[in-house]
Structure 1
């Protein structure tokens, strides 16, 4: 037991350091990736609390494997086929062009062309772990620049195989190296075998495992599939991450997809964090100190060259400026596969250990600068991302002016248009307008926060303005502007939450509704009927909750946000004797402004109603009768 104590102590140090650093960096807005990296540097090269950086890095590579498996689960074969142009277009061009340019630059500083080729293509590869983790944290995996970035990273993972295979040919002392058809056939056969097993065996396997009802067995099966496919691809000469990705794609259509994702996700997060800590532990502080000037010059220069080349290639493939800029900023760093490639190149004598250490230091520093580069890319494209259209208001002006045409506004528009009421719809999203036009809607481009836009859209002709925007700050600015400049128009407003609803009432809107309250009530009612409660009883329960919510909101208008807490049901009700329920009073009318006597009277009425409102009980309404099967 004494021999294992140092191992347990290192694990505790890694866990503690990673938790503290990730929480701190996330809190200050720098992201968990940079936090894990900083924790590794502090615990390893600086304080020397953990010395086995390479071992931690190897274990942490499983995090990349699990990450690619989860991405594969979300990426069905049809969607992968749809990305073929980005994968074999932008991805292929990026590896070839960037590798040749960086290789030519490396050849200027060394005489060996073999070493220059390895350095050029090794630095051309970006970090799959960093890139995908940053996209996932920002929720941008399914955006245009997220899909393009993923396509480039996917092709780079594919490119690792031929790059590793070509090293023996470039080795200066290699004898008898040649084309090995058996090895190539084994690699192709492994891919075919994995596809066939995934296509015909995985779903039956999980169906059998699921019948056991044991969650740990399902978890073990998920780990078996991921690690087994990863090892098979590694044995065939591919990366482990590629094997896991293929397995994920093959299971994307499976009915067990969500169960698999839920089982793998905790391992993915923990091991990916361990990978970034391992990168920090592996930093060669002595080498950085010795070659600090070269590293400080070469790293930003490398990132600028990679970003510029990738931006040009993305634009040439038809991507927008914003997409190309975001992709190039995200993938400007060198990647973890460079560690593998440069270590293998050193082993076969292509270049020295000192050169490999310098290159690894450049890769690590470029990874550390990735969050900053990504942030700069966001700043550079913030204005250009907001695509604009020509503000043309010909034909605008109707009884109702709707501002905002997101999912909430679309349903409201359906109700109004179905009743024969003409609606002028205003929205500031060019993409949303373009998509809505495909369905036959006429939407005007413009911001509801500008007085001249509201006038051009016909607000002076409108009897009612429906503010359906989905951001609280935007809604408040629109309401304040309309109340100030057009006080006679009726304002019906979508509110974000309870506090926002109260603030809108204080602004004097004619009607407001929280965006989720009615859908939640309907959902709750359907849940009751699904549990066997009679439909009419479920409706009365929902109506009781709705009435008490309205009463509480009225009370909060007068007494503040925390009033009426005793009117909420916070635990299962206790059955009471069967008595006839008391009729809940109807909601009071809105309070007029600057009317102190009326407010005092209303407060008294609200207090009396508040005492009368009782907690709901099934016995209050009717006997509970389960629905027949």
Structure 2
């Protein structure tokens, strides 16, 4: 019997994953970075070497969604107020870089090739753009994304995304076969502003309501689908207007940056982002035509050297003017010296407009790919010129600074109900900034109305904790209601952050013992102190002297502590039953007499549950 036909995509998927699994760990082990590993995997399986995949352009079409998801996640990390604070770098440094590098490269291309000035312009301007995906991945791998160096680099990249619209307009204006149905430039600009305004309104007023409704239903799959819909919907809106999909996703992310669902969104999007971004770099590697490089290797190397040296020098000078020291400015120049992924889009538009021949498109595509492959190596070499910059604290969302007395300034409280809110207030009184996590949208809204910082998500998930800043936290408090299972929950957390102190709210005595046996440093029974306080009030109401009340409390606490120790050490919850108080305590000369024991199985069973 004939078997079912093999889906067309399956062999290619196996090839992509196999190449990634083999090469990426090798490059990471060699401290060359994952990006270079993905690029090498693409070159190896592409048409120029093994030929296991023959149509890299088709793969690149889908892999570009990795950039879209990357920009959405970056947007989630940037509150609008912080983005506004970066406006000088975005519209000052970014504008200067795009214009000066683009014009300088136009002159270089015109001098080094036989292209007309129009063709040189539509090549030089795109080469002035850098690779957002590559740069942000390198920054993340080296822990620089949250530093001033990383923010300034991102400001340039963000303006480059905005510059795609006017560059497309320039290509269309110079085209030798203009599209009569193409809208004029002013209309494109108006449509861009309107689309961005629509995204801002939807992100601020519509999406939070949608996520609140879905979150209250507890349907995680629907929540993930809504997250992807918000990303792809914003990308589709921009693409339908001929604009950058990544820009639309970034705006949607910024609008959700102050939402309590921010960390849950980031955690759910992250797996898709990582896979698609890796696929994007593989696709870029596959587009490298080694035949072109081999046939014109002197020209290719000359153009790559000119591209990277011009951009490095220009960006270094601009960064120095905007306040960076010379070494940091030089490293920023190297980091942004490559050609970018949008170069492929603009080169294709120039080819359709008869401004570039197919051979020229292949040549400059090879230049972009080679420059992207060289950037991780050059940046790694430059980073060794001084000790690696440690990512400084970013006062955005859960990122916090250290406070005095050597105390960590970040505490994550999982469960912001009655107990969690009390813990949070006491920590804030010490000057510790608290990040709360809860699954109840209504409770989150109420808590936020009192000025608390609470995010939606299951705080027992590693990805949620990581998104909330557990890597830098000094304390993790579980104030969740109910007798949740500490065995399955705590082991992954302790493995991921072995030095992170964990405190927990225990539902009852049995839950307390389970928490302590699972490695929780401190567990507090939620009803113990209130029971003691109520017992004191009951004794006082019966006319008991204050000194006797204190003595009764002391002996009860001592006996209960001894019993807990016996139960914890023996593993038997029935241990220490002889420490229970069963009848009147005799007081003589202020000393506590012996407590008679009564053998009562029902009392023992009830005491175990207490």
| TM-score bracket for the superposition, by shorter chain length | 0.5 to 0.7
Where does the alignment leave 5 or more consecutive residues of structure 1 unmatched?
Answer: 387-405, 414-438, 440-514, 549-567, 582-618
Are the aligned partners of 1:17 and 1:43 in contact in 2 as well (CA < 8 Å)?
A: yes
Q: Deviations over 1:553-604 (max 9, x none)?
A: xxxxxxxxxxxxxxx98xx9442433568xxxxxxxxxxxxxxxxxxxxxxx
1:67 to 61, 67, 70: 70
Cα distance in 1 between the residues matched to 2:51 and 2:332:
36
Are the aligned partners of 1:36 and 1:273 in contact in 2 as well (CA < 8 Å)?
A: yes
**1:13, CA displacement in angstroms?**
1.3
| Partner secondary structure for residue 159 of structure 1 | helix
**1:248, CA displacement in angstroms?**
0.3
TM-score by length of 1: 0.65
Q: Is 1:334 aligned with 2:332?
A: no
**1:174, CA displacement in angstroms?**
3.3
1:151 to 149, 152, 155: 155
Are the aligned partners of 1:325 and 1:381 in contact in 2 as well (CA < 8 Å)?
A: no
Are the aligned partners of 1:57 and 1:275 in contact in 2 as well (CA < 8 Å)?
A: yes
Paired position in structure 2 for 1:270: 275
1:230 to 231, 235, 238: 235
Paired position in structure 1 for 2:119: 115
Q: Deviations over 1:232-263 (max 9, x none)?
A: 01112221100110000000011111111111
Paired position in structure 1 for 2:104: 101
**1:111, CA displacement in angstroms?**
4.8
Q: Deviations over 1:259-305 (max 9, x none)?
A: 11111000000100000111111111211111112112221331121
Are the aligned partners of 1:222 and 1:264 in contact in 2 as well (CA < 8 Å)?
A: yes
Structure 1 residues 298 and 183, CA gap change in structure 2 (3 angstroms):
closer
Q: Is 1:53 aligned with 2:62?
A: no
Structure 1 residues 573 and 339, CA gap change in structure 2 (3 angstroms):
farther
Q: Is 1:29 aligned with 2:48?
A: no
Q: Is 1:529 aligned with 2:524?
A: yes
Q: Deviations over 1:153-197 (max 9, x none)?
A: 000011111101221211134386783544433332211111111
Where does the alignment leave 5 or more consecutive residues of structure 2 unmatched?
Answer: 392-400, 409-430, 432-496, 506-515, 533-553, 580-602
Cα distance in 2 between the residues matched to 1:49 and 1:165:
37
Q: Deviations over 1:597-627 (max 9, x none)?
A: xxxxxxxxxxxxxxxxxxxxxx99x94555x
2:202 to 193, 197, 206: 197
Cα distance in 1 between the residues matched to 2:185 and 2:298:
43
Structure 1 residues 356 and 533, CA gap change in structure 2 (3 angstroms):
farther
Structure 1 residues 375 and 542, CA gap change in structure 2 (3 angstroms):
farther
Structure 1 residues 359 and 219, CA gap change in structure 2 (3 angstroms):
same
Structure 1 residues 78 and 178, CA gap change in structure 2 (3 angstroms):
closer
Q: Is 1:314 aligned with 2:312?
A: no
Structure 1 residues 180 and 88, CA gap change in structure 2 (3 angstroms):
closer
**1:209, CA displacement in angstroms?**
1.2
Q: Is 1:40 aligned with 2:45?
A: no
Structure 1 residues 163 and 542, CA gap change in structure 2 (3 angstroms):
farther
TM-score by length of 2: 0.67
Are the aligned partners of 1:65 and 1:240 in contact in 2 as well (CA < 8 Å)?
A: yes
State the superposition RMSD in angstroms: 3.8
| Partner secondary structure for residue 529 of structure 1 | strand
Structure 1 residues 521 and 175, CA gap change in structure 2 (3 angstroms):
closer
| Partner secondary structure for residue 63 of structure 1 | helix
Are the aligned partners of 1:145 and 1:326 in contact in 2 as well (CA < 8 Å)?
A: no
Structure 1 residues 39 and 161, CA gap change in structure 2 (3 angstroms):
same
Are the aligned partners of 2:102 and 2:128 in contact in 1 as well (CA < 8 Å)?
A: yes
Cα distance in 2 between the residues matched to 1:78 and 1:324:
26
Paired position in structure 2 for 1:133: 137
Higher relative contact order (CA 8 A, sep 6+): 2
Cα distance in 2 between the residues matched to 1:542 and 1:184:
73
